[in-house]
Chains A and B, each alone.
Chain A
Amino acid sequence: MTVTPPTVAAEEPRRALRRFRSIKGRQTWAGLGMIAPAGILLVLFLIVPVILAFTLSFTNARLISPNPPRFVGFDNFIRAFTADPVFIQSVGNTAVFALVVVPVQAALGLLLAVLVNRRMRGVTAFRVIFFIPVVTSIVVVSILWKFMYQQDGLINAMIDALTFGLWSGADWLNDPSTALGAIIFMSIWQAVGFHMIIWLSGLQTIPEELYEAARMDGASPWRQFTNVTWPGLRPTMVFVLVTITIAALGLFVQIDVMTQGGPEGSTSTIVFHAVRKGYEQQEIGYAAAISLIFFVAVLVIALIQRRLTREKD
């Protein structure tokens, strides 16, 4: 952590001392000292694991093994794309999940935000109610919905009552054609309140004068939304889309608690597959390769989203 450039050895201490005494030098020492605890922790538990993920992915490392890891080149990556159908299926499931959840959750969040963005009696209570699932642990939510999704569970009983017995639902989590959809519905239910709040804070940055001007021109509520609200929400939209996408791609807990990737692999996701391979089956090198593929995918998608949403400005 020296800040002085290498010089003649004898010169070094004196120069360091002079630097320490100078105002700028003292700020350097104070700065390094105060960032050190966080800096060391971030290096140990973020940067080293990232580098480790990168290097392990080119080896055959195992979690507990007497043999040291051996370099295997691109074998893990080739295996993922050619010899591991569950991985391919997991990529597909993750993509479907994200493609449905991102637009639906963003739109529903905006709808809720518009609903509660007004001065009316009781609106705060509704904001709190819409937000309650967000503060409930996703583990608890997954267990609760697993119970409600049972064939003789609450969801089917409610469907039956609401359709007057015309449809009695399905065995949601045990049927490959409905399991992922059921998890998608529950995930949106749990997280949409979070994005309602983000949208709401975006809505409140739009100056009221713009609405007044639009109304003077006789704009209908819908026109006000498309011409005033929507353009004013662009920065918020970028944030909402990127955060939902990253969260959606990382889908894990719901799968682990509710279906363990089944039935027939119909709900296995990339992260779930990586954890299963790396942790349960101890193939940490292969799991690191999957994690690296996942990381690159997240990065690329986030960059594309940024580019797309920025170009329109």
Chain B
Amino acid sequence: MSATRTLTTEPETRRATRPSTPQSEKSRRVRGKVFLYVAMSLFGIVFLFPLVFMFVSSLKPDAQILQDVDSPMAFLPVGDISLDNYFGVFDRVPVAQFMFNSILVTVLTVGLGLIVNSMAGFALSRLAWKGRIVVLAVIIATLIVPFETIAVPMVYWVAQLPTLVIEGGVLKYDFGWLNTYEVQIVPFIANAFSIFLFTQYFSTIPKSLDEAARIDGASWFTIYRRILVPLSGPAFATVAILTFLPAWNQYLWPLMVVQKEELRPVMVGMQYFFQLNTAWGEVMAYTSLITLPVLIVFLIFQRAFVSSIAASGVKG
């Protein structure tokens, strides 16, 4: 996880050491800088214009969106601006329910994942036990299985798993996880890549800490809970960020296993908007609504996001 550190240190300015007159040197540097800013701004426009268009269009009636497309007005909140599209969205779909479902699924997947995967990382990096090397090798090997390849067989599999249901106050068991919250959460809690990152991070913390605690009679779980967890903030942040985005963005899986409207997450809710005449203003309002929370979280924790991604690359 050295990248976390290297990324935040800014690269040194590169001073030219070639002999040249101060004036031409200075003007060359200014020209270089201007060129860089122009290049970065052009790329910036390319990356931003679709999202600006989305947010701006969400405030306009459909007819005006189509009319403004031919002019720079497409990117400006001018004309017949209102929140009507947003009210329309709330009329058409249970946005609050979808949001609640997505937040619940995301929070539980990320939160339980942090606990379960960090415990596994502790076992793999701090404890000497039989089979440790084999288990670590199997976990690393599973990293290459793309989810898409097992998605369809997994539908077949979860449809047969036992589940507990309360029927008339009596606890019974039944089969089939389709149309539940757990089917959206449980399969994604344990994550080979998260375990790998925790294992890596924990092995950088001196083992002498454990030994001292052992002498004082601490159990292994206490060592994990009281020593390793408090010292591993950056690892927890990295894993939380890397598991947050896929959990919020889940699409293929809930599409297949959740048919009940009241259990569906925000991304699948999208489907309600595509009927004969798509109301694009409302679509833009809905996509703006489900993008804004993530965007705000990203802008607040921008530095942590970037270093998490960087950390995933260097060691992966």
Do A and B share a complex?
yes
Chain A interface residues (CB < 8 Å from chain B): 3, 24, 26-28, 30-35, 37-39, 41-42, 44-50, 52-53, 56, 61, 63, 112, 115-120, 122-123, 126-133, 135-141, 143-145, 147-148, 152-154, 157, 160-161, 189, 193-194, 197-198, 200-205, 208, 211-212, 215-216, 218, 236, 239-240, 243, 246, 249-250, 252-253, 256-257, 271, 274-275, 278-279, 284, 287-288, 291-292, 294-295, 298-299, 302
CA distance A288 to B309 in the complex (A): 32
Would you list 6 pairs from A and B whose C-beta atoms are within 8 A, ordered by A residue? A26-B220, A50-B149, A135-B295, A135-B298, A294-B149, A295-B146
Q: Is the CB of A152 within 8 A of B69?
A: yes
CA distance A153 to B17 in the complex (A): 51
Q: Is the CB of A28 within 8 A of B130?
A: yes
Q: Is the CB of A30 within 8 A of B313?
A: no
B298 to A, closest residue via Cβ: A135
Query: Is there a chain A Cβ closer than 8 Å to B10's Cβ?
Result: yes
Task: Chain B residues near A194: list those with CB within 8 A.
Answer: 309
Q: Is the CB of B313 within 8 A of A291?
A: no
Which applies to chain B's interface (DSSP): helix, strand, loop or mixed? helix
Task: Chain B residues near A240: list those with CB within 8 A.
Answer: 313
A154 to B, closest residue via Cβ: B69
Task: Chain B residues near A118: list those with CB within 8 A.
Answer: 11, 13-14, 36
Query: Is there a chain A Cβ closer than 8 Å to B221's Cβ?
Result: yes
Query: Is there a chain A Cβ closer than 8 Å to B66's Cβ?
Result: yes
Q: Is the CB of B54 within 8 A of A144?
A: yes
Kindly identify, within residues 122 to 158 of chain B, every residue whose CB is under 8 Å from any CB belonging to chain A: 122-124, 127-132, 135, 139, 142, 144-157
Q: Is the CB of A34 within 8 A of B245?
A: no
Q: Is the CB of B310 within 8 A of A197?
A: yes
Q: Is the CB of A34 within 8 A of B120?
A: yes
- Give the 7 A-B residue pairs with the shortest CB-CB distance, closest first: A31-B129, A201-B310, A41-B190, A278-B152, A38-B120, A198-B313, A30-B220
Task: Chain A residues near B299: list those with CB within 8 A.
Answer: 128
Task: Chain B residues near A136: list those with CB within 8 A.
Answer: 51, 291, 294-295
Stretch of B38-46, B85-93, B166-174 contacting A (4+ beta carbons < 8 Å): B38-46
Q: Is the CB of A126 within 8 A of B148?
A: no
- How far is the CB of A22 from the nearest CB of chain B, in Å? 12
Task: Chain B residues near A123: list those with CB within 8 A.
Answer: 40
- How far is the CB of A229 from the nearest CB of chain B, in Å? 12
B72 to A, closest residue via Cβ: A161
The 8 Å CB contact of B13, one of A42, A45, A119, is A119
Which of B9, B123, B311 has its CB near the most chain A CB atoms (within 10 A)? Answer: B123
Q: Is the CB of A275 within 8 A of B152?
A: yes
Q: Encode contact with A along B261-289: 1 for CB under 8 Å, 0 otherwise.
A: 00000010010000000001001100100
Q: Is the CB of A144 within 8 A of B287?
A: yes
- How far is the CB of B180 from the nearest CB of chain A, in Å? 14
CA distance A149 to B229 in the complex (A): 48
Chain B interface residues (CB < 8 Å from chain A): 2-3, 6-7, 9-14, 16-18, 33, 36-37, 39-40, 43-44, 46-48, 50-51, 53-54, 66, 69-70, 74, 116-117, 119-120, 122-124, 127-132, 135, 139, 142, 144-157, 159, 186-190, 192, 195, 219-221, 224, 245, 248-249, 251-252, 255-256, 267, 270, 280, 283-284, 287, 290-291, 294-295, 298-299, 302, 305-306, 309-314, 316
The 8 Å CB contact of B310, one of A120, A140, A198, A294, is A198
Q: Is the CB of A63 within 8 A of B155?
A: yes
Check A215/B16 contact, CB under 8 A, given A49-B153, A131-B305. Answer: yes
- How far is the CB of A130 from the nearest CB of chain B, in Å? 5
Task: Chain B residues near A205: list those with CB within 8 A.
Answer: 2-3, 6, 314
Check A34/B224 contact, CB under 8 A, given A132-B51, A239-B316. Answer: yes
Q: Is the CB of A193 within 8 A of B316?
A: no
CA distance A53 to B146 in the complex (A): 13
- How far is the CB of B291 from the nearest CB of chain A, in Å? 5
- How far is the CB of A113 from the nearest CB of chain B, in Å? 11
Q: Is the CB of A284 within 8 A of B152?
A: yes
Q: Is the CB of A53 within 8 A of B149?
A: yes
Task: Chain A residues near B43: list those with CB within 8 A.
Answer: 112, 115, 126, 130
The 8 Å CB contact of A204, one of B9, B139, B252, B287, is B9
Check A115/B36 contact, CB under 8 A, given A30-B220, A34-B127, A136-B291. Answer: yes
Task: Chain A residues near B46: list those with CB within 8 A.
Answer: 189
- How far is the CB of B210 from the nearest CB of chain A, in Å? 10
Q: Is the CB of B252 within 8 A of A253?
A: yes
Q: Is the CB of B267 within 8 A of A139?
A: yes
- How far is the CB of B273 from the nearest CB of chain A, in Å? 8
Q: Is the CB of A204 within 8 A of B7?
A: yes
- How far is the CB of B76 from the nearest CB of chain A, in Å? 13
CA distance A139 to B254 in the complex (A): 13
The 8 Å CB contact of B150, one of A53, A154, A204, is A53
Q: Is the CB of B305 within 8 A of A24?
A: no
Check A127/B306 contact, CB under 8 A, given A46-B145, A201-B313, A204-B11. Answer: yes
The 8 Å CB contact of B69, one of A34, A35, A143, A153, is A153
Q: Is the CB of B7 within 8 A of A126?
A: no
Q: Is the CB of A197 within 8 A of B146?
A: no
Task: Chain A residues near B305: list those with CB within 8 A.
Answer: 131, 135
- How far is the CB of A122 from the nearest CB of chain B, in Å? 8
Task: Chain A residues near B290: list those with CB within 8 A.
Answer: 137, 140
Task: Chain A residues near B16: list those with CB within 8 A.
Answer: 215
Which of B189, B190, B221, B245 has its CB near the most chain A CB atoms (within 10 A)? Answer: B190
